[in-house]
Structure 1
Amino acid sequence: MTLRAKLVLAAMTASSGGLLLLLLFILLEVPDLVNLMGYTALGLIVATCLLVSWSLAIYFTRNLANSLTALEVGLLNFKDNDFSVNIPVTGDKQLQALADLFNESAAILRKERQYIYQRELLLDKVIQSSPNIMLLFDDEQRIIYANDAARHAFNHGNRIEGCLLPDLLTSQPEELVNALNNPKGGLFTSAGQEGAEDETWHLSRGRFMLNGQYHHLLLLKQMTRELNRQEVAVWKKVIRIISHELNNSVAPIASMVKSGRKITASIDDPKLALIFDTIEDRTQHLSQFIFNYARFAKLPLPKKAAVDWQKLTEQLRQHYQFSIEGELPQSQGYFDLIQMEQVLLNLLKNAHESGSDVSDISLSVQATQLDEQQSGVLIVIADAGSGMSSEVLAQALLPFYSTKQTGTGLGLPLCREILEAHDGHISLHNRQPKGLEVRLWLPD
């Protein structure tokens, strides 16, 4: 029975009781009333009184019923997470105050929900755009949530929600599988593809309760470039210190050689001239040596501009001969021309010194798409020389490592430094049956 029905019944019960008491009192005072009026008249009076009391009860409770019904509907909408409903403000002051309070609560909840929704959108955008791999799974190792980086790492960009983590690891490197199966986090190294350097990752884990069930969070962060950056920064600092000290010694020696030649100009002694020539030659060699290292240590930030591929290849051909594989892109490249020309000249020089025939040295440029978000150009320089052993491939991009007797070990590291400053990368690959292929990737 509804509240309104109970109020109407209570009103009619009270009216009936009062009417019966009134009739009883009248009958005690006027015993002949029934004979005078008759039972029919008395029945009509009682029925009329009951009808009037019922009508008045219905009339005075009409706003209460409407307000309670509206409040009930509004609360049901709240239960369904729908805060868009407002109830009408009607009835007496108490009902109006209750309706106002409900509407104010609905407005606050709408505002809070909109704020939470926008914050969730922002958080999801940040997570999806993050290069770090994020996986959320339950105690049964079933994936509940994965960001875009995780989908590309484990399933070629396809959805992995609902999959089991062990099933996703079947095609992954052994080092990654061992790290994920280890209950502890930390750094681990995964072997790169042929010609690519090993990749260093940092694994962190988290465990928390959500909806009465434990969930596990995995975060994988690529640390290779950051570690390389720190390593190169240390090398650059060492080079700057050594270059400064050597320059402080070389400059006075060169000055003293000139002074010595002037002082001994009248002495015709071949041995003395040989001594001066040797000192001067070695100081010049040392100065050039210092200059090469200082160039690596003081590499400026790239000044990117539009570059025509046809003009660039023509400029390169003025120094080294090569053939162009395929068609050059119609669209222009966007990079620091001076720095990239230095990279390409260095790689073409290495190709010519590899023992390859000039006719087997080639260069190709093609547009490529790494994934849905990264597009750019792939530059490939190939030769048919002796190639590199696996040991040399693993260390060729490290500073000061060289297989040449007179090499400084800075050519390929300088190329890598320039490519990474352009947000690109470089990799070395042996060709079959012989030769080396250098791949350069630059973003648009």
Structure 2
Amino acid sequence: MIRRSLAGRLLLWLLPSMAVAIGLPLLLHRWLSDERLAFLLSALIALPLVMLAVRRALAPMNSLFRALSGSVNSYRDGEYNFGIHWDSPDELGALVASHGELGDVLREQRQSLVQRELLLDTMVQNTPVAMLLLASGGDGVRRVVFANVAARKLLHGGWKLEGQNFDMLLENAPLEMREALARGGDSLFAVAQEDNEEEEQVYHLARRHFRLNGRRHELLLLRLLTSELRRQEVMTWKKVIRVISHELNNSLAPIASLAHSGNELTRRGRHDRLEEIFSTIEERARHLEGFIRGYARFAKLPQPQLQTIHWNTWLEGLRRQITFQLEMPDDDLSSRIDPAQLEQALLNLLKNAHESGSAMEGVAMKVTRLPDWIRLEVMDRGSGMNDAVLQNALVPFYSTKRNGTGLGLALTREIVEAHGGRLSLHNREGGGLCVAIQLPDNPAI
């Protein structure tokens, strides 16, 4: 056992040198009468021998230490395909064994990490959601750090986006997309098709900010909702048919029952309850009439009857019906719109703003003139919309209110698009919702 241990190895190499160091002074003392000279000569001869013996004894360990140092550097560089062998049951053997176990663990973790990265990259690259990771450099320019296949197709014709100036990429994007990306927070917007302006693609934009390696990054997610909205609309129409049938039955059944009761009372000559019966029948009939009128208004929206209006005067008239703060440009704007339809659309938005939980002074409307467009923004400081509500907000008959019909935003969107405009929604920084309407700037001639 002692021959295979670290101490045994050192002792085997040092014994000859120690024997020389002890025996040489005795031998020289016999030859020389001066003891000091004999001791000095023996030291000069024995010391190099001892140093040589120690060096040769430590040479394997020095090689081992160099190998361990090299392996640590390889671990740091991510290389684990090697091993170190030390055939000894001593402390160095235990150290080498532990080092080998560490290498095995790191190798397994690296392989597992690579597999997870491949799986994640496959999922991210093949998702239909366009994903962009942006970071600002020292020059303040936002550059694309990562973009999946969907983002490349959407913004760069399928070409690589990494390293590109994001603001320059947006110069070729549609106006609606540029405006949505320029705003803060999540939003919902529609982009008209180049080959068919009546067709549009609806997108949901989500953005998140975080720090990575000490730098501020922004993650953008652009999800195409057009096909999903169409599927949901079909499902919603089926639901609406059930709702209408239920409402009709709830109203017609009591009307038929009351009419029958009134007929029986008349036949018996009892007229004392007829007024109550007729009053209830009238109430149920008017309720049903209002219910049907609301759905018919959405289903058969007439073409806008355009008239010339001056926005300052027209919006002041709207403020007499409902309270809101108004921000207008200095110059007097005029346009050709359908006053009745657009009034209904804005009243729907302002009513929703007041019902959002916002303070009365937090409900506001801002009018801005853009190149070829008039932009109306209805804003509040309520609770805003979460992602699920924001994605479904424009689906007809979708409502989070207990007694809501879900027609307000859908009808507003129909009116705006009938005027050749666009409607978008986004949550405001600091809380609240902004519903933006863009109408063509067609001033009166």
TM (norm. structure 1) is: 0.46
- Compare CA radii of gyration and give the structure with the larger one: 1
Relative contact order (C-alpha < 8 Å, sep 6+): which is higher? 2
TM (norm. structure 2) is: 0.46
